[in-house]
Amino acid sequence: MNEDYARIEKAIGYIRSNIGDQPSVERIAAHVGVSVYHFHRLFRRWAGISPKRYLSLLTVDQARQLLAGSRSVLDVSLELGLSSPSRLHEQFVSIEAVTPGEFRKRGQGIEIAYGVHAGPFGDTLIAQTRRGICFLAFTDQATLERELNRLRRLYPEALLRENPVAITATAQRLFDVGETRGEPFHLLVRGTNFQVNVWRGLLRIPRGEITSYQQLAQAVGRGDAVRAVANAVGANPVHYLIPCHRVLRANGDIGGFRAGIGLKRELLDWEADSA
């Protein structure tokens, strides 16, 4: 037992010393002299999480410290051995687009559970499949039916079931994104290739920071299509987790927001305070 503990201590030290290289599980297991299979079981027993998950949490934690020192996202990503800035944010939120075939089927064969949960910014409508969250919107009594209709238009052939219990766990940790606890959120989105590219660009905006529509358009390689990029931002089906609220107009004006400008200001203020 003491030998096992020594191996895990050695593995953790190795991960911390080589985080910039993002070492593979195979490499870590070889370093401590055990098989990958045995190392997985050993690490989970002693640390409570998988070695890959531990590396992810450690990466995020160090990234937050570096970003707090006013380092650029690109610099931090490269220093931590990540291939691009978007990889850093995928530690918090991962996004998957429906396939072209699934897009054409408009949700046929998909079961979607949805419910409304009271949160710090009012009611939040959340819908999810077995593959992840597919819709999120801030609502009130006046806008709930409008947002439900939007969900139905996105997935007209899907089987929608109201199931508040199913989304309770998701809702309870919704505003813990960016913390070093719990599993990251996985999103399943339905949109055109252009829209999904813009939404991936939104994920690259660090928490507590803002950008303009022009800067976002340039970042996704469409500097000539600012208006189209703005429309794609507005079509975001997963508010907050795909942070469309972090985009302002070039003149600094706060711009529009589906749930209202007041809520957009609240979100920006809250993130600035908690970043």
* Residues carrying an active site annotation: 244
Residue in the structure block whose two tokens are 């079931």 = 161
Q: Which of 49, 70, 274 has the alpha carbon at shortest distance from 179?
A: 274
Reduced to 3 states (helix: H, G, I; strand: E, B; else coil), residue 39 is: helix
In sign, the C-alpha dihedral spanning 199, 176, 170, 76 is positive
Reduced to 3 states (helix: H, G, I; strand: E, B; else coil), residue 94 is: strand
How many CA atoms within 13 Å lie on the side-chain side of 25?
A: 16
Q: Are 204 and 73 in contact (CB under 8 A)?
A: yes
Q: Are 151 and 160 in contact (CB under 8 A)?
A: yes
